[in-house]
């Protein structure tokens, strides 16, 4: 009887020892997965407020827009985050991301290139900021809406 208890006690200790040296289960990670995921580029993890197309010198260019307090940044709609243009506001637009209503990309001045009209909500209506393409500088310039 003592021998059986001793064997059971030894088996129990071996089980405890085996349990103690087992590796701990892996905890889920908050880091993004390392493998390639379809669409896993800046457009999926970046904050994009709008997208559309511009026409410049007869070329149609798809873009993504990121709205900020001091500007709206336009990027080429490609896997790589390539800057297309910066639309610098004449004055900061506080909480621009939340107040953003949308944009239009039409040729308003008849030069054959798209101009950009941004709309933001405000207490007494809508704030409109117009940016016209300047082919000489290759940038958008703020213009009266």
**pLDDT at position 43, please?**
84
Residue carrying the six token digits 């958008």: 140
Each residue's pLDDT tens digit, 109-118: 899 999 999 9
Which pTM does this prediction carry?
Answer: 0.70
**pLDDT at position 44, please?**
83
Higher pLDDT, 11 or 52: 52
Using a CB cutoff of 8 Å and minimum separation of 24, what contacts does 60-68 make? 65/103, 67/96, 67/97, 67/100, 67/118, 68/96, 68/97
**pLDDT at position 29, please?**
47
Residues 6+ apart with CB under 8 A from 97: 47, 49, 67, 68
Helix (H, G, I), strand (E, B) or coil at 122: strand
Q: Is the pLDDT of residue 144 over 60?
A: yes
**pLDDT at position 41, please?**
80
Confidence bin at 39 (pLDDT 50/70/90): low
Q: What is the DSSP letter of 33?
A: P
**pLDDT at position 45, please?**
80
As a whole number of angstroms, the longest Cα–Cα distance in the chain is 103
Higher pLDDT, 13 or 141: 141
**pLDDT at position 46, please?**
74
> Are 83 and 73 spatial neighbours (Cβ–Cβ below 8 Å)?
yes
Q: Look up residue 28 and give its two tokens.
A: 């889920």
10-19, 42-51, 76-85, 111-120: the lowest-pLDDT one? 10-19
Each residue's pLDDT tens digit, 9-28: 666 657 655 655 655 555 54
């Amino acid at each position: 009887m003592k021998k059986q208890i001793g064997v059971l006690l030894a088996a129990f200790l071996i089980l405890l020892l085996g349990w103690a040296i087992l590796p701990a289960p892996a905890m889920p990670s908050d880091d993004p997965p390392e493998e390639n995921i379809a669409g896993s580029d800046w457009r999926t993890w970046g904050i994009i407020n709008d997208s559309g197309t511009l026409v410049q010198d007869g070329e149609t260019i798809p873009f993504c827009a990121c709205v900020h307090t001091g500007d709206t940044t336009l990027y080429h709609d490609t896997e790589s985050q390539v800057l297309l243009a910066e639309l610098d506001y004449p004055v900061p637009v506080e909480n621009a991301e939340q107040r953003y209503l949308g944009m239009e990309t039409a040729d308003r001045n008849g030069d054959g290139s798209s101009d950009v009209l941004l709309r933001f909500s405000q207490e007494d209506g809508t704030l409109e900021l117009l940016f016209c393409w300047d082919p000489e500088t290759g940038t958008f310039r703020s213009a009266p809406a």
